[in-house]
Structure 1
């Protein structure tokens, strides 16, 4: 049984991960939080203690770490005797943290595909450019690595696997719909690291259609759906991490990702992009100072973790799956609704961070108890989704299903 958790990263998602690990430290053991900024780690430690989240007495410590330094990360894994590493730092550090886990034998979990700072929207499938290149060595060394185990990617992958396995004879389309119907009260802000957030939307939009990769531009294709709780919402087709594994692991010809954006967000985003302020390439000012426009924009926008206290409203994220069962057309929507205010009350973070931070802790528990300790590299859809969804139901992210039998809680 694996125990002791090292959390890499100190943003809003890391805060949720820390609180949820603390709530289950009877299973997960000691908890360590590490990032380049020690103060941010300590603030999370203090938050966990203030809310009394520790289930039983145990270690809870903050550490300074440059996670791009593989040797330093290995040393911290060894020092803390961590057998579970939950990487919720920037996507730029994935490969370094993964390598440290491979060399120490610790289980590795993350919530997004690795990114190269100098490349945007590479050719798909993105996992094949980075993490999947380490599949063979993970299997050889018996290292469990679960990729993309946030909500999307992550829970939506489990929903897709459940639908394909249990609800259909054949599936024609999976449309993942992500709606944030909440309000943070700021003029403009992003729910995750602005640098990572904008990089998703400034390049090509890749989707899996007719069993092949298809290109579009951002905000080119949209849809409108009447969704549970959040009502009628417009979303736009965009590229996203989970498409790159689902397209390879499930025999489904059409897999697309849709995200909701308000007109205000689209207008501000478009102006920033057209002015060149979302570029990752450095420019030189008249004073001779070299700056990266995207990093300047990130510096002047609100820290995503600062949005939590005043966030209101709900999210709705799920998989709309269409296919056939018994020769008859069938459609199901498997989804979760999260509340921003409830998330803040429980763990001090907004709902977007909550939906991303609870799943890797559920996965860590499943590794700890052996259910998901597969001793190789996998994406979530390659694992049994039922124990994961059952655990999420108990941990604050209940799953519901809407089909021809109505709308109800999903009991797996």
Structure 2
């Protein structure tokens, strides 16, 4: 069993991760939060104490850390005796934190693909450019590294694996649909780090079509989806982290990602992009100062965490899977609906941060109890989805299934007839 968690990052997702770790510290042990700004870590700790989130008395401590410094990160992992590291800082940190985990033997989790500050929308499969190059190192060190274990990527990968294994004989297509039907009341804001948000959409976006990569322009393909609770919503075909692994691991010929955008967001985005304000390349001002336009835009936009108190409405994120079962065409929607206001009441966050943070803690718990402690690197769809889905059902992110039999809570034990306890016993034999 692994215990003691080091959380790297102090943004909105880290806030949720810390609260959820605190709610489960009987299993996870001591909790440490580290980022470059100690005050942000302490603010999260204050929030946990204000909410009374600790399951039982335990250590909860803030640390200052530049996680780009591998040696400093290794020192902190050892000093805190952390056996699980949840990296929810900037994706620019992934490879440094992963290196520190490999050298110290700590399990590694993240919620997004690694990014090079000088590159956007990299050539697929993107994971092969960075993380997958350390597969052998993880295996040799017997280090468990679970990549992309937020909601998308993360939960949607598990949904895909569940569908492939239990709902179909053959899957023809997976459409991942992410709709935020909430309102934060600001003129313009992003729901997570503005720099990372914009970098996803400023160049080529990739989809997986007929077993090959297809290049698209942002906002080139629009489709209206009718989803539970949030209703009819327009979404646009875009690239996303999970496509880069699922295309290589599931054997499904068509995998696409659709994200909902309002017309106001699109208009502002296009103005910023056309003015060059979303560029990641440095420019020199008239006063001789070198600045990165995208970093300036990030600096003037609201902190995503600040949106939480006034956020209303719900999100709906899921996989619409089509294929055949017993020779008959079949369609299944696996999805979650999350309420912004409920998230704020529970942990003081909005639903976007909540849906990304809860799965990372569920994964940490599965590593802690041995279920997912595999001693090598894996993307989420390479792991058993049943205990993951079952655990999240009780942690605030219940999964629902809509198919020909109706719309219901997805209870893996009932649907598949094999409980988490049975699976753990079987895997130990």
TM-score in same-fold range (> 0.5): yes
What corresponds to 2:331 in structure 1? 331
What corresponds to 1:110 in structure 2? 110
* Cα deviation digits, residues 123-148 of structure 1 (max 9, x gap): 10000000000000101110000000
What corresponds to 2:56 in structure 1? 56
What corresponds to 1:208 in structure 2? 208
TM-score of the aligned structures, taking structure 2 as reference length: 0.96
> Aligned runs of 1:113-132 on 2, under 5 Å?
113-132=113-132
How far did 1:163 drift?
0.3
| C-alpha separation in 2, matches of 1:292 and 1:109 | 29
What corresponds to 1:168 in structure 2? 168
What corresponds to 2:71 in structure 1? 71
How far did 1:406 drift?
1.1
How far did 1:121 drift?
1.1
Query: SS of the counterpart of 1:281?
Result: coil
> Aligned runs of 1:136-175 on 2, under 5 Å?
136-175=136-175
| C-alpha separation in 2, matches of 1:120 and 1:362 | 30
Query: SS of the counterpart of 2:394?
Result: helix
Task: Structure 2: state its 5+ residue gaps.
Answer: 413-429
What corresponds to 2:409 in structure 1? 409
How far did 1:289 drift?
1.2
* Cα deviation digits, residues 77-98 of structure 1 (max 9, x gap): 0000000000000000000000
How far did 1:411 drift?
0.8
What corresponds to 1:382 in structure 2? 382
Task: Structure 1: state its 5+ residue gaps.
Answer: none
What corresponds to 2:45 in structure 1? 45
What corresponds to 1:228 in structure 2? 228
How far did 1:239 drift?
0.3
How far did 1:286 drift?
1.0
What corresponds to 2:362 in structure 1? 362
| C-alpha separation in 1, matches of 2:354 and 2:277 | 29
How far did 1:172 drift?
0.3
Query: SS of the counterpart of 2:186?
Result: coil
* Cα deviation digits, residues 44-64 of structure 1 (max 9, x gap): 000001100000100000000
* Cα deviation digits, residues 366-392 of structure 1 (max 9, x gap): 000000000000000000000000000
* Cα deviation digits, residues 271-297 of structure 1 (max 9, x gap): 000000000011111111111100000
How far did 1:191 drift?
0.6
Aligned residues: 412
| C-alpha separation in 2, matches of 1:166 and 1:233 | 29
* Cα deviation digits, residues 140-189 of structure 1 (max 9, x gap): 11000000000000000000000000000000000000000000000000
Query: SS of the counterpart of 2:18?
Result: helix
| C-alpha separation in 2, matches of 1:188 and 1:298 | 12
**Structure 2 residue 219 is matched with structure 1 residue 239:** no
CA RMSD of aligned residues (A): 0.4
Query: SS of the counterpart of 1:374?
Result: coil
